[in-house]
Structure 1
Amino acid sequence: MKKIILSTLTASLLFTGGLYANEKAAKDATVKEVNTIAVNNAKNDAKENQSKLVKEAIDSLKYAHEALVALEKKDSKEATSKLEKALGKLEVILSAKDAPQFLVIDNLVRVNEFVGTSKDVKFALKSVKKLLDEGKVQEARALLLPLKSEIDVTVVSLPLVSYPDALKLAAKYVHSNEIEKAKEVLGIALSTFTEVTQIIPIPLLKATDLIVAASEIAKEDKKRAIMYMSAASDSLDVAEALGYVSKSETTYKVLHEKINEIKKEIEGENKAEKLFDGLKEKLKEFKEKIFSENKK
């Protein structure tokens, strides 16, 4: 069973891009420095915003497991005691009016950053196709593995819809001396979790931060602002080449057109404030659709 869980992490990265969450890039920062800060801040955001683990849920699982061990030893009295403790750990949560459907018992943040360009991606894909044509599947697979640039946030939760009822049913079977049935029910309860992974493409975070940085210095440093915008366009190329697709009405082509429009305005009269705002809104909506679609 899988259930979509949007973490606070997604929201924070969606709207801010990560640039000003912790460290702020200097106004004379290089593109590499802006990108490094963007990724580091995104990592920190991911760690700081990990879903809070519910101690009662973890304790309940521990007691349920101990009940199963007791049943393996045919110790019904011990199993009953452990099941009562397992249910007891959930009493406060279950009695609350706004009791959650899922209790978080584990989470994990993985970061895989692709440091190449869109040309590197395209070259790798051509090589993969060639290897597949030659029947060299494992070599092709090895080339495909690095072709991702994302923060993956995995949340493992205990479903309150079914878990407590399973414990009660197991206790009922123990009471009626139907030990095998009790063991079967407990085994299922201890292996039924929801696991959802939220995928956040790093190139889109970089593009967002570079655009924000460019908007803040466009008046005082045209050359650097244009450099940031060009780098943002490159990041979008990487995201597209890596296959991070959005169902947004805004396309990569539209984003590139907006970036080019802003670059021309910066070089000219430099009244790009509204253009920047429009681009940020379109990129936010574009990312929002990608974030909502990229879950597994």
Structure 2
Amino acid sequence: MLMLLPSYASPILAVTAGPRRLTILALGTSLLLAGCNGDTNPSDQAAAGSTAAAAGAASATVQAAPAPAGDLGDQLAAKRKTLVAEAVSALQETQAALDRLAADDTRGAVEALARATGKLDIVLAADPKLALAPVDVRVAIHDVVTTPDAVRALRTRAEAALDDGRLQDARHLIADLASEHVIDVTSLPLATYPAAIKQAAALLHDDKPGEAVAVLETALSTLIVEETVIPLPLARAEALLARAQPLSERPQRSAEEQAALQGLLADARTQLDLARALGYATKRDLDALYDALKAIEDKAEAKESGKGLFDRLGELFGTANRSSNPDQKPKDG
């Protein structure tokens, strides 16, 4: 999902916990409060620690369901690699220019904008076709401690409230029904942002600081945020099946191994049930996962090897994850 960032805000770290819902917002990089260099950012370490702790707490509520913290860390690392250091610096210099103007230091603002322009010129020279320059990655974890049956019961009550015209009652009933990682990547739009910086600099040279401020604030308000949703039930089901695979593929299993395999498969099915109850993915995508799981369960029940039955799971989970994002969900799903 792409959205415009309505207003510029400094990075924050917020943690809220309740009896039913856990929400954590953690930043991958700091836009203004830290420089962009090769050293490990303390805020990155705090974010990673908070993310891992949240995922651990979530997994503790689901028997034998490992939290996909490692997978999330890999995805965040991949996102961070796309950050453009010069674009981050340009954003920092833009805010510095506004700070200088607030202090009636026009010369300092002009110098900051000159540095920002130089940084953006480097970005465009390196890749003239680049439309968006990523400058920030942040992750939020929303998790709900519940069961598929409890979710379905709440949905039924919410639907009844909607039928009665009680929209606010329905809204409160389903407000906490989410179990997901949300990764936001903020980018500078290179088609418009560099021109805005140059326009603001020209206005300052014409002794029009008020208009320059308006141009810069508008530029900062048009940063673009790309949002990716990763449903936790799907991530947990995939992790459980990854643990089940070596047991399933053995030609012979001990009684303990057989019990462990069937337990993992049962937990994976519960996670798929939760994903369906929460409305993640499409019916078609979840049906394909259920069919694959049923084939594995049948082999386990017959105490036969499930070799080859796991080969398409990565593809199936990838499709289900993509269809859980509003802008990627098929219209006929």
1:246 is matched with 282
Distance 1:265 1:73 in 2: 72
Please state how far the C-alpha of 1:264 moved relative to its aligned partner: 1.6
Extract unaligned runs of 5+ from structure 1.
10-21, 23-29
Q: How does 1:58-97 map to 2 (within 5 A)?
A: 58-71=88-101, 76-97=106-127
Contact 2:258 2:303 in 1 (8 A): no
- Counterparts of 2:186 and 2:202, CA distance in 1: 28
1:208 pairs with 2:208: no
2:90 is paired with a residue whose SS is: helix
CA change 1:76–1:110 in 2 (3 A) is closer
In the alignment, which residue of structure 1 is the partner of 2:316? 282
Deviation at 1:269, TM superposition (A): 5.7
- Aligned pair in 2 of structure 1 residues 282, 44: CA closer, same or farther (>3 Å)? closer
Change (3 A) 1:279 1:158: closer
- Conserved? CA contact 1:31–1:228, under 8 Å: no
Distance change (3 Å), C-alpha of 1:279 and 1:73: closer
Separation (CA, whole Å) in 1 of partners of 2:70 and 2:213: 46
Superimposed CA distance per residue, residues 209-260 of structure 1 (whole angstroms, 9 cap, x where no aligned partner): 122222211232223212222221221111011011238xx43233223322
Which of these residues, 252, 267, 283, is aligned with residue 301 of structure 2? 267
Q: Deviations over 1:2-59 (max 9, x none)?
A: 479xxxx9xxxxxxxxxxxx9xxxxxxx995641x33333454455445255443343
Structure 2 SS opposite 1:146: coil
Provide TM-score, normalisation by structure 1.
0.75
Count the aligned residue pairs: 268
Q: 1:62 to 1:211 in 2, by over 3 A?
A: closer
Relative distance call for 1:146 and 1:72 in structure 2 (3 A) is: closer
Distance in 1, Cα, partners of 2:104 & 2:61? 66
Greater CA drift, 270-279 or 187-196: 270-279
What is the Cα-based RMSD across aligned positions, in Å? Answer: 3.4
Matched residue SS, 1:158? strand
1:293 aligns with 2:328: yes
The answer to whether the 8 Å contact 2:300/2:306 transfers is yes
Cα distance change, pair 78–213 in 1 and its aligned pair in 2 (3 A): closer
Are residues 1:257 and 2:295 paired?
no
Q: 1:207 to 1:69 in 2, by over 3 A?
A: closer
**Structure 2 residue corresponding to 1:228, chosen from 261, 264, 277:** 264
Local SS of the residue matching 1:195:
strand
- Does the Cα contact within 8 Å between 1:102 and 1:159 map onto a contact in 2? yes
| 2:11 alignment counterpart | none
CA shift, 1:122, in A, is 0.6
Structure 2's unaligned 5+ residue stretches are: 5-27, 29-51, 53-59
Counterpart among 108, 111, 136 of residue 141 in structure 2: 111
Q: Give the TM-score normalised by the residue count of structure 2.
A: 0.68
Q: Which moved more, 1:153-162 or 1:99-108?
A: 99-108
Return the letter of the residue paired with 2:227: T
Whether contact under 8 Å (1:201, 1:239) holds in the other structure is yes
* 1:200 Cα offset (Å): 0.3
Counterpart amino acid of residue 242 in structure 1: L
Percent of aligned positions that are identical:
29
The 2-side partners of 1:214 and 1:66 are apart by 53
Superposition deviation, residue 130 in structure 1: 4.2
Partner of 2:154: 124
Q: CA deviation at 1:188?
A: 1.3
Match of 1:57 among 87, 97, 101: 87
The residue type paired with residue 40 of structure 1 is: A
Structure 1 residue 136, shift from structure 2 partner: 5.4
Shift of residue 127 of structure 1? 2.7
The Cα of 1:150 is off from its aligned counterpart by: 0.3
CA distance in 2, matches of 1:100, 1:56: 13
d(CA) in 1 for partners of 2:69, 2:305: 32
CA contact (8 A) 1:208 1:283 kept: yes
